[in-house]
Structure 1
Amino acid sequence: MESKFDLVVVNGNVVTASDISTCCIGIKDGKIRALADSFTGDELKGAEVIDAQGAYVMPGGIDAHVHLCQDLETGPHGLGGECADNFETGSRSAAAGGTTTIITFATQTRKGEDRSLLKVVEAYNTRAEETGSYVDYGFHIIIVRNDADILENEMPILMNDWGISSIKLFLTYKTQCLTDSQLLDVMFAARKNAITTMIHAENGDMIEWLTGSVENKLEQKGMVAPFYHALSRPPIVEGEATNRAIALAQLIQSPILFVHVGSVLGAANLRRAQTMGLPIYAETCPQYFHLTWNDLKRFHSPTCFENSKMICSPPPPLTVSDHEDLFVGLANGTFTIYSSDHCPFRYDHPHGKLSGVLEHKPSMEGEIEHQHEGKELQGLLRRKQGAFRFYSQWDPWCGDTIAFAIYWGTGKGSDFTTEICRYGMYPRKGALMPGSDADLVIWHPDETFKSFHLTNSMLHHNVDYTPYEGTEFSNWPRYTILRGKIIWANGEIVGKVRDGKYVKRGPSLLSQGSPRADRDPRRVASWLYE
């Protein structure tokens, strides 16, 4: 007789959306089939059994903000921006950290060959299929053009055929930012197709003006070390951009989701809009709870170049006190998404952090261009400072995101879980209920786990550093289970690189808007939809 379950988890403190209870989980054919106080001997017959030993059992992590296989021309010579992680290495790191689904970014450019969004997605999908993935994955798409025919004809196909129910728009970076009218074009098309609009909210003109080499600006004053990256992006840069995007969204009744919100000012703007009944949502990331501006001057080498390991955009909060204010945003629902913004660049690679030196003409004076390899590159890092404007402005976070959320810094254990229904996957993903994918992360029992200090060698990405070297963790995933298959167990990857499958997502719940939003045509353009 066929066994009732393939895998059973017993003696777990199971975390669901509503409560925490001690129960057992029965899994069959990759799906959760039952949650019960106990199973009989006949029900357990033939099943593999994991004893959670009283540890927390949670839905597998869903990291909805991951950059893999993206090549970005960040400098005048195009040296920067080669992602260190592909789908194999990035997903391996995710699995080791308790994440079972990632959503990555297919990136449109302004080149003629990238005019078609469908071709952009097809090319990006080829990269994923070339290596395979340890965990399930889906795509967002970054849009940098507002071609009317593409938006009209291809967005429905992205939603219906690919299940891509989210796009990302930029208010900064010359190669990616859109004007207000262009933003409205794309947001309007997204709303009509039940697609979430994600916003990177920084005022690019403010940043350029503060950074510029003309009189009294940062570069003219020689203020180019990594720390000054933060000074080029004070909180008001995010504050203005969030306010502007909220106004645009309110005008056309378009729900939006702000990504990687890092300032108390930005969070306050979002909370105010939410209180007004606007469908405004937000994501935040671990770096904004555990780093401050002081981390951008942590190392005191002659060049201070090593501080580039701490650069992220937007920059981390000014002080530790800001962390507490941002934690309030987690508690009161200002933030409903917690993601990594994993964007991996190597430290000593010409297409990584080192581009900050190689692209900076003053640093390269007297150096023979293009003749620095291997140890010579490391020597260049010790001699030259570079400039923050040319650094790769992102860092690797993927493998440790869930551990940060649950067991480091929050002090709340399992009280914080990630809400992911905004991206059209609930309840297939992110839920422990019958019918959901059997994606689980099982922690070690707190009383038996010995805390440890993280080193980059413990992670499974393809990056040569972690911003959290030496950080103490009080727990780490013991098992990661993907659709009923164990892919990480007791410190070892036990899954295979093609265990992960592409996830075709449903319409975004954001597209439904808010019933409390003002629809008076005298104040907003609600007549657009009549």
Structure 2
Amino acid sequence: MLSKFDLVVLNGVVVTASDTSSFDIGIKDGKIHTLAPSFTPEDIGDAQVVDAEGGMVMPGGVDAHVHLCQDQKTGPLGLGGQCADDFETGSRSAVCGGTTTIIAFAKQSRDEEDRSLLKVVEAYSARAEETGSYIDYAFHIIIVRDDKDVLQTELPVLVKKWGITSCKLFMTYKTMQLQDYQLLDVMLAALDNSITTMIHAENGDMITWLAEKLESKGMLAPYYHALSRPPSVEGEAANRAIVLAELIESPILFVHVGSSASANIIRAAQTRGLPVFAETCPQYLNLTWEDLKRFHSPDCFENSKMICSPPPGPDSSDQDALYLGLHNGTFTVFSSDHCPYKYNDPHGKMAGMLEHGPSMHRASCEGISLPELAKSKTGSFKLVPNGIPGVETRLPLLFTRGVTAGRITPQKFVELTSTNPAKLYGLYPQKGALLPGSDADIVIWYPEGGLTPFKLTNEHLHHNVDYTPYEGMEFANWPRYTLSRGQVVWANGKLLGTPRDGRYLKRGPNQLGKGVAHFKKDPRTVATWVRE
């Protein structure tokens, strides 16, 4: 019997950012076609059937903060770090964890050859096309130069030709840090082109000063990475970025917020009606400074596996505050900041040992594996590539520890992990929705009791990284099915898709607004004349 649908999802509890109800879903030509209380046998016909068996059915995850195919080889010997995941392996990992759209970063450098943002994007796009992607993908642009002629002529082309409507700016890292006047230059140019500005908010000068003091005292083990970046480092930078953004009335988004200090500053700005958005990530809800002492001893170099920036908070009190931020709207999106550096690799975490002269002085490496060598070396936290993997575990962690534990509602989960990222980055309602005409990107969870809780090991995962920071954590649920544009690409623990399934997405502008328009502008904080 023929059907008007290609595939139907039956017996599910459909959850969107606003509602929860029992619906069947009919899919045609890769799009959501019909939602109905139930389908008749005639409706179903010969369509492929996916039985949710009472499990929650949600829009597929949109992970708007993913690093793939990136090099950050800035150490003395130029070894680390090199992302272990390309678009094939990174998207494979994403889809197995319920994510159906990723937005990755095309990164400009300060080299003269990277002066053109268009050439940077073209080169990065070639990397994606070389391997393909299991799921749909888009790009942000990281801007580390303030070449005014390039900003004026190329930003409009990025928007029109590539649909790139977001840029990321850094307040730390010597190779990427912009001074305040440079931040203002780029923010103003982005504002004129309806490009959302993302901010990595850490005070680079404070970090440099603290790191030098730690080094002078011989405090170089991975744990001291956290001491070089206390929460005040992030809080100061967040406050300063808000002042700069308010000056020119620019919307901004703070990425990977890791502390209550920063979250409180952001919340206060939002309460004043400013268009300030924020993102947090799984590491800040599940790890603390103590995880930088996890392996064998506080001085053990294997703890470098846990280094990311900003680091998680000193203790679980920050986690409670960040969960409150998820609940009350301080955080607009929940992303992974998947930054995959291998541990056992000279272009990964091991660079922090191999590039540290004192650790390698008179070291005999012949016939010794890197992990064995690391057992007797401290390395230097300053030279360890900053970042941890997490694109596959993002949704399951928040589902288990947020939804199942009752800390956030299923609707809030969808809002943070799918709908808001799609709106913020100009993909809604193509993505992040279960509406007629939306792409049929769907994640279906096991019904309650349908999956025996298990402790995670790296062998469960599908990335190209040799560890997970969440090893040993217990999970109560995991995506049972993932559908990308109407095709079942993950089912009952098996990957069914291919790396040529994904398509590049051109995006529109931020759909979440530009702040409260009718507020009287205070000349003490806003330079209204700048854009006149």
* TM-score higher than 0.5: yes
> Is 1:450 the counterpart of 2:456 in the alignment?
no
Match of 2:181 in 1: 181
Match of 2:46 in 1: 46
Aligned ranges 1:254-403 → 2 under 5 Å: 254-301=250-297, 303-367=299-363, 375-403=368-396
- Tell me if the contact between 2:245 and 2:251 (Cα under 8 Å) persists in the aligned partners: yes
> Is 1:169 the counterpart of 2:164 in the alignment?
no
Q: Distance in 1 between matches of 2:92 and 2:280?
A: 23
Q: 1:295 Cα shift? A: 0.9
Question: Could you tell me which of 464, 473, 476 is aligned with 1:474?
Answer: 476
Check 1:157–1:288 CA distance in 2 against 1; reply closer, same or farther (3 A cut). same
Match of 2:504 in 1: 502
Match of 1:437 in 2: 439
Check 1:302–1:22 CA distance in 2 against 1; reply closer, same or farther (3 A cut). closer
- Tell me if the contact between 2:293 and 2:299 (Cα under 8 Å) persists in the aligned partners: no
Q: TM-score, normalised by structure 2?
A: 0.96
Q: Distance in 2 between matches of 1:395 and 1:17?
A: 28
Match of 1:204 in 2: 204
Q: 1:512 Cα shift? A: 3.3
Check 1:264–1:302 CA distance in 2 against 1; reply closer, same or farther (3 A cut). closer
Letter in 1 for 2:448: D
Match of 1:252 in 2: 248
- Tell me if the contact between 1:357 and 1:363 (Cα under 8 Å) persists in the aligned partners: yes
Check 1:322–1:336 CA distance in 2 against 1; reply closer, same or farther (3 A cut). same
Q: Distance in 2 between matches of 1:327 and 1:302?
A: 28
- Tell me if the contact between 1:303 and 1:382 (Cα under 8 Å) persists in the aligned partners: no
Q: Distance in 1 between matches of 2:366 and 2:230?
A: 35
Check 1:166–1:517 CA distance in 2 against 1; reply closer, same or farther (3 A cut). farther
- Tell me if the contact between 1:278 and 1:516 (Cα under 8 Å) persists in the aligned partners: no
Q: Distance in 1 between matches of 2:246 and 2:520?
A: 9
Check 1:235–1:504 CA distance in 2 against 1; reply closer, same or farther (3 A cut). same
Alpha-carbon RMSD across the aligned residues, in angstroms, is: 1.5
Q: Distance in 1 between matches of 2:514 and 2:4?
A: 39
Q: Which segment drifts farther, 264-273 or 443-452?
A: 443-452
5+ residue gaps, structure 2, are none
Q: 1:523 Cα shift? A: 3.9
> Is 1:8 the counterpart of 2:4 in the alignment?
no
* 1:231-278 Cα deviation digits (max 9, x unpaired): 000110001000000000000000000000000000000000000111
Q: Distance in 1 between matches of 2:354 and 2:520?
A: 51
Residues matched between the structures, number: 523
- Tell me if the contact between 1:279 and 1:517 (Cα under 8 Å) persists in the aligned partners: no
* 1:218-237 Cα deviation digits (max 9, x unpaired): 00111111111000001100
Match of 1:150 in 2: 150
Letter in 2 for 1:363: S
Q: Distance in 1 between matches of 2:91 and 2:520?
A: 42
- Tell me if the contact between 2:60 and 2:443 (Cα under 8 Å) persists in the aligned partners: yes
Letter in 2 for 1:519: K
Letter in 2 for 1:77: L
Question: Could you tell me which of 210, 217, 233 is aligned with 1:221?
Answer: 217
Q: TM-score, normalised by structure 1?
A: 0.96
Letter in 1 for 2:178: L
Q: 1:3 Cα shift? A: 2.8
Q: Distance in 2 between matches of 1:447 and 1:211?
A: 48
Q: Distance in 2 between matches of 1:103 and 1:324?
A: 28
Q: 1:78 Cα shift? A: 1.1
Q: Distance in 2 between matches of 1:157 and 1:372?
A: 52
Q: Distance in 2 between matches of 1:93 and 1:528?
A: 45
* 1:421-469 Cα deviation digits (max 9, x unpaired): 1000111101111111100000111122100110001100000000011
Q: Distance in 1 between matches of 2:100 and 2:41?
A: 30
Q: Distance in 1 between matches of 2:337 and 2:295?
A: 23
Q: Distance in 2 between matches of 1:390 and 1:528?
A: 41
Q: Distance in 2 between matches of 1:138 and 1:151?
A: 20
Letter in 2 for 1:325: A
SS in 2 for 1:90: helix
- Tell me if the contact between 1:58 and 1:441 (Cα under 8 Å) persists in the aligned partners: yes
* 1:139-175 Cα deviation digits (max 9, x unpaired): 0010000101110010011111100010000000000
Q: Distance in 2 between matches of 1:158 and 1:518?
A: 33
- Tell me if the contact between 1:194 and 1:511 (Cα under 8 Å) persists in the aligned partners: no
Aligned ranges 1:13-92 → 2 under 5 Å: 13-92=13-92
SS in 1 for 2:176: coil
- Tell me if the contact between 1:518 and 1:524 (Cα under 8 Å) persists in the aligned partners: no
